[in-house]
Each structure stands twice: as C-alpha cells, then as structure tokens.
Amino acid sequence: MRIAIISLGWLGSSLYDFWEDQGHEVFGTYHSSPKLKKNEQQYDFNNGVVPRQVMESDLIFFNLPPSKIDSIDNYRRFINETSGQRIVFTSSTSVYGNEGIVNEDTTPVPETSNGKFLVELENLTLAHSDKNVVIRPAGLIGGDRHPGKFLSGKISRSHTSQKVNLIDREDLITLIDKAINQSSIQVLNVVNSHHPEKGQYYIEYCKKNGLALPEFKENGSYKDKIVETKYEDFKVKTRLP
C-alpha cells in the first residue's frame, strides 16, 4: 500500500518507520525540519501545492495539529484536491469536553477552541467519504514523552482524584494499523483501559524515575472524565508505564 503521512511529527515519524518495516511504500511531509526519512518532502499545508506523492497514495494519514491549520477552508481545499484516497484523520479525546464517561457514541461537547475546531475538521472528514476514519487518541505518552516529567516539582491545578486518560505510542500505532485494515469503524477512541487517579499515578511515576514529586492542590468538587472505546478488539489493557 502507498501511504502518505502529513506530518512527520512525534507520532508520524514512528508510524513511517512502522509501516516501512511492514513493507508499505511510505511518504511523509514536514513543515520546517527534515526528519531524515528515505521518502520525505517539505510541505507548507496552508500555502503550498499538495505533493504528488500524496495525490498518488492509497491512504493519507493526516497528523497535522489543528494549531498548524489556518482555517477550515484550507482543510476543505486539501481534501477536495485529493483523488478519492482514504483519509485517516488524527483528532483527540479533547472533543468530549472534561466530564463524564464517554465512548464513540457520545456526542462531542468540546469546551476549548482547539476542541471545537477539531470537531469541525472531523465532521468535514467524515462527510467527505464514508471510507474515512477519525482516530481520537487520549493523552500521548511514550519514548521520552510523559506528563509526569512536565509535572515533576510543580503544583498541579488538577484534582488529585481525577482519572488519567492516556495511550502509549506503541499501542496507538498498533491500533491505527489495525483500524486501516478494516472498514466498519469510522470513529475510534484509542485509550488505555486503566484510569488511575492523577495524584497516585503521577507521584508514583516520579518516584520510580527519581524525579521531584508534583503537588496536587485539591479544590473541593471537580469534574472527571473517563474515555472508553466501545470496540472490544481495540481495548488496551496493558498496564500504563
């Protein structure tokens, strides 16, 4: 399969390597810094011409953060220029807002401008073709990336009892690959099924890694969100690192 990745960031670069190892013909774009892949090209999404390799691909994995998309019209122009390829759009579980137990049947109620824009992009993707897929990952961890490192030694505004919703990059890649090899799912939440409390989880993480402990300031009542997937074959049950 010919796969085009837009763009080669933290997730996209790892997906490039994974799919190349699987024997696919992979092409990737980057905005400013080359990623040293065999088949890559600089691409200014908002102002540039869509690369030929994207137009000739069988599948487009769209991984550009919403902050890098200037307007919904720019994304509409992009998908209208494609020639019928299946598009896998990377969104986020932030579209659900900050409260409740949610899965793919839950109507998104985003509370941030970023989440609201993602819903617009999702809707445009799904309306364009029933072949397209929206992937909603939870908080991303893996490699050197972990929120425990950011919280180390700081005072968190989160309530200590709030649950975490996370997904490891390796699990995410496995499930993205699984999703593109089926045709029945259009929207997929990708999240680890374990939801420990933030205070316990991040303090234990920092202790285990020799980091300064974070401090959680409790402020009485709090909103809590637990993200699930309704698809049993896509549930991640391994322990969080």
pTM listed for this prediction: 0.95
Percent of the chain beyond pLDDT 70? 100
Domain spans of the chain?
2-142+167-193+223-234
How far CA 210 is from CA of 83, 140, 166, in Å, comes to: 51, 21, 21
Class of domain 2-142+167-193+223-234: alpha beta
Residues 192-216 have pLDDT tens digits of: 999 999 999 999 999 999 999 999 9
Q: What is the pLDDT of residues 158-186, one digit of tens each?
A: 899 999 999 999 999 999 999 999 989 99
Q: Exposure string (b/e) for 160-183, b if CB count within 10 Å is 16 or more?
A: bebbbbbbbbebbbebbeebbeee
Cβ neighbors of 226 (< 8 A, separation 6 or more) are: 100, 101, 102, 163, 165, 195
List the beta strands (DSSP E) in the chain. Answer: 2-6, 25-30, 40-42, 59-62, 86-90, 100-102, 133-137, 139-141, 155-156, 166-168, 187-190, 215-216, 225-227
